[in-house]
């Protein structure tokens, strides 16, 4: 046989005789008791004491029991306290009205000890079970949130590690990986309210874009050093081999996708970016000669970010262009290399991208 739950109970009764009688009954049952003699005092005590249960008379001075429970329902801290009405009314309409206002039960006067004990115990147990369930739900939500953050961290670390693997074999550097990721995120945020892209760009998709961008050149790990690190102009054959990095990267990510039991947005996006970020709006890019909106939006955004950073960056085979020169070159690519809408948004906010470049310069 389980041990009866003992609780703190607020008794709201304007009759001193009735209040004292009910108080003594509850104390004999092992409960702690607080007494209020009117509706206003009841609301104040409920907020201050947070009882486990309220026994509430309907007919009260200042505000009646229905008004009291309405006030309790307005507050987040008191609306969960179970309320049992005490009433000399015993019609079905009175019962229904009390329940409609939020009461969990009612006890008619004169109060019988056995009835009171049973009703109070039942609702204390239900209240305790409800609180326990809420605590369990909060714990589970916290655990899910913790696991999701851990998974996110593992994904981010893995992505950075893979991106650096390509980086250490190439002439490009860590800041290039970081900058292009920030460029893509910034450009997507600028475009998210445009009529053309508002259905594709939201908080989640922009987060995935920024996470996926560092893997755009992962396929370069499959390019021979003699070509990848060559300081001079590539021969036609070498250039043909260099261009295979787009397909190599997409294939590697595709294999990773096949190893997962569920589809992951960032792998899908990473594959798109790696495969098609060298495509051009007019169809003259590689590897597939896609044009216009055949090119995924993720790859269109990455193309702008990658070209901008390549132009302003110094490499062993070329000097870096000035920001003014770079702006002119990028503008000339509208409708050819770049989607006209995207490149115009980039040019309209050019200073933002210059600021990002300045804040994440490569260490000499």
Q: Note the pLDDT tens digit of each residue in 69-123.
A: 899 988 888 888 999 988 876 656 666 777 788 788 888 888 888 888 888 888 8
Average pLDDT over residues 147-169: 63
- Asked whether residue 229 carries a pLDDT value surpassing 80, the answer given is no
Q: Which CATH number fits domain 8-139: 3.90.700.10, 3.40.50.2300, 3.40.50.620, 3.30.379.10?
A: 3.40.50.2300
| Choice among 37-41, 96-100, 172-176 with the minimum mean pLDDT | 172-176
Q: What topology does CATH give the domain 170-359? A: Hypothetical protein af1432 (1.10.3210)
Query: If you search the block for the tokens 């949130």, which residue do you land on?
Result: 145
Q: How far apart are CA 231 and CA 106, in angstroms?
A: 88
Alpha helices, DSSP H, located in 313-349: 323-332, 340-348
- Asked whether residue 27 carries a pLDDT value surpassing 80, the answer given is yes
Q: For position 317, what pLDDT does the model report?
A: 64
Contact 247, 219 (CB under 8 A): yes
347-355: long-range contacts at Cβ-Cβ below 8 A with a sequence spacing of 24 or more? 348/190, 349/186, 349/190, 350/323, 352/186, 353/183, 353/186, 353/187, 353/308, 354/323
Number of other CB atoms surrounding residue 227 within 10 Å: 17
- Asked whether residue 355 carries a pLDDT value surpassing 90, the answer given is yes
**Average pLDDT score, the chain:** 84
Number of other CB atoms surrounding residue 301 within 10 Å: 30
Q: For position 364, what pLDDT does the model report?
A: 47
Positive or negative torsion for Cα 49, 51, 55, 56: positive
**pTM, 2 dp:** 0.58
Domain ranges of the chain: 8-139, 170-359
Q: For position 201, what pLDDT does the model report?
A: 92
How distant, in Å, are the alpha carbons of 24, 57, 75, 78 from that of 48?
23, 19, 12, 10
Measured distance between the N- and C-terminal CA atoms of the chain, rounded to whole angstroms: 77
Q: Number of C-alpha atoms within 13 angstroms, CB side, residue 72?
A: 33
Q: How far apart are CA 106 and CA 92, in angstroms?
A: 11
């Amino acid at each position: 046989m389980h041990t009866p739950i003992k609780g703190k109970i607020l008794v709201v009764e304007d009759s001193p005789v009735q209040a004292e009688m009910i108080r003594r009954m509850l104390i004999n049952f092992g409960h702690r008791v607080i007494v209020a003699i009117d509706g206003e005092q009841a609301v104040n005590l409920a907020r201050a004491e947070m009882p486990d249960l309220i026994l509430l008379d309907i007919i009260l001075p200042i505000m009646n029991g229905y008004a009291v429970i309405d006030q309790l329902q307005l507050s987040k801290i008191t609306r969960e306290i179970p309320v049992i009405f005490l009433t000399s009314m015993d019609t079905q309409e009175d019962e229904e009205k009390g329940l409609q206002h939020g009461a969990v039960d009612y006890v008619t006067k004169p109060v019988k000890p056995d009835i009171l004990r049973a009703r109070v115990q039942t609702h204390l147990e239900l209240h305790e079970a409800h609180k326990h369930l809420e605590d369990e739900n909060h714990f589970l939500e916290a655990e899910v949130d913790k696991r999701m953050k851990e998974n996110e961290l593992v994904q981010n670390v893995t992505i950075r590690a893979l991106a650096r693997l390509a980086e250490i074999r190439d002439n490009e550097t860590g800041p290039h990986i970081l900058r292009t990721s920030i460029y893509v995120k910034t450009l997507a945020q600028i475009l998210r309210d445009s009529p053309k892209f508002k259905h594709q760009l939201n908080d989640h998709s922009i987060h995935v874009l920024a996470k996926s961008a560092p893997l755009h050149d992962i396929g370069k790990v499959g390019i021979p050093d003699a070509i990848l690190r060559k300081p001079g102009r590539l021969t036609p054959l070498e250039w043909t081999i260099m261009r295979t990095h787009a397909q190599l990267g997409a294939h590697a990510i595709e294999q990773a996708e096949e190893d997962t039991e569920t589809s992951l947005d960032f792998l899908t996006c990473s594959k798109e970016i790696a495969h098609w970020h060298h495509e051009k709006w007019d169809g003259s890019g590689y590897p597939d000669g896609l044009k216009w909106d055949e090119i995924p939006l993720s790859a269109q955004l990455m193309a702008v970010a990658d070209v901008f950073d390549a132009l302003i960056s110094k490499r062993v085979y070329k000097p870096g262009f000035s920001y003014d020169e770079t702006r002119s070159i990028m503008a000339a690519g509208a409708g050819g290399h770049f989607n006209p809408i995207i490149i115009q948004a980039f040019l309209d906010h050019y200073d933002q991208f210059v600021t990002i470049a300045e804040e994440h310069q490569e260490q000499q």
